[in-house]
Amino acid sequence: MNVQTVDHFFNPSSKDFIHDPIPTLQKLSSEYPISRFDQWQAWLITGHENILKCLLDPRLSTDFNLWEYAPEKKAIEDMDPFEKLMNNNLFFLDRKNHLRLRKLALPAFSPRIMEQMKERFTILVKERFDEIGTPDSFNFAAEVAEIVPTQAIASLVGIPRDKFPIFDSLAYGVVRGINPMLTPEERRDAIKGVPEGLNLLNELIDERRKNPGDDFLSTLILAEDHGSKLSNMEMCALVGAVLGAGSDTAVDLHSYLIKTLLQHPDQLQALKDDESLVQGAISETLRYESSGKTGLARYASEDININGFDVKKGQMVQLITSTAGMDPKMYNNPEEFDIKRDHDKSISFGQGPHYCIGVTLVRSQTEVMLRELFKRFPNISLGNEIVYDYNHHNARRMDVMTVNTNID
């Protein structure tokens, strides 16, 4: 079969795509179920069914070191602190080590722990809106979306409030440092706060080892499976993974949730009439306004045939999950925003062994934020200014999204 390329129309870094990706995603989903994207030196997989099959295929690994263009892996003693952190990151481990870490980490994300955290999230969110006050308008993206997710994770981990700036620097390094397009100077600048952040985490872990409690870190420390326990670096890497997924994803989710609800007053009114639709609104935003510019990267651990195409060992496969949300075979009228839509088969948070471990964390903090926002500003409307970060390496990130409070 002839391999189609999509470089002639697919440009996820373009302003057109960042402003409105739906036409491109629909074209990919309907006309290019599997293709090559030479800019990424990767195969692209689109559509709900195709992506789901790949997510469940153990021959497609998250282990970056399998990639044919991966740099030679350094010895542990030659790695800097950031590289050691990424070497243990849940997202990039081989299948065996991923399953081990995930099994040990799961109790820390239990419904009981997450319910405890919801109370802390509520306090944090209320304090954030207290600080914002009652202006005529404010930049929701910078003053809420950029701040609340990282503070929520800091609270989860048990970071003291006076140490939040150190944790913020760690979060920045984790999220920005993985960008492969950075120059060496830009990378050094991005990750300069990682060593101090890791020292802070290690101090907290050591303190919890001496005095364990009923919290997230203590649960990680006490977790055991057939004699296997988590090391300090593995726990730090789990926090890094939560920062990478939980904070980065939530930043965009917060902004796009509010933007899309305010752009669809009928859906906003439906939510106000029935607050049980909050989680449906979150799920629909993830489907309708999928904020990613890239997909989920997988690497062929052996030669594989996907839908009649031969994928060679070591090649990268990018699962463009945003196309799944625009797949008409899965969703009726996918171009419409409908918070009552059925999301039982959604793959927004992945599927299979790599299903997002922090999904409850993201959903919980987003729900708390949404409820408090409309409690404070029931007549809120979208402002006149939206500014995108066109250089963000993997997201359709908004730096500015003004909202009008319309306080009587």
What ranges do the domains of the chain cover? Answer: 15-404
The closest of 2, 1, 4 to 33, measured between CA atoms, is 4
Average pLDDT over residues 225-232: 84
State the virtual CA torsion across 92, 94, 97, 100 in degrees, nearest 10: 90
- 15-404 folds as Cytochrome p450 (1.10.630)
Residue 48's alpha-carbon distances to 32, 39, 108, 273, 295, in angstroms, are 13, 23, 30, 32, 13
- How far is the C-alpha of 337 from the C-alpha of 244, rounded, in Å? 27
- Least confident window among 231-235, 258-262, 355-359: 355-359
| Tens digits of residue pLDDT in 286-343 | 999 987 888 888 999 999 999 899 999 999 999 999 999 999 999 999 999 999 999 9
**Percentage of the residues of the chain whose pLDDT score is greater than 90:** 55
CB atoms inside a 10 Å sphere around CB 51: 25
Dihedral over alpha carbons 140, 145, 146, 151 (to 10 degrees): 130
Q: Is 291 exposed, middle or buried (0-12, 13-18, 19+ CB in 10 A)?
A: buried
More confident residue, 255 or 152: 255
Q: How confident is the model at residue 225 (pLDDT cuts 50, 70, 90)?
A: confident
Q: What is the pTM of this model?
A: 0.91
Tokens of 313: 């060992």
pLDDT of residue 180: 65
Chain-centre distance for alpha carbon 75: 29
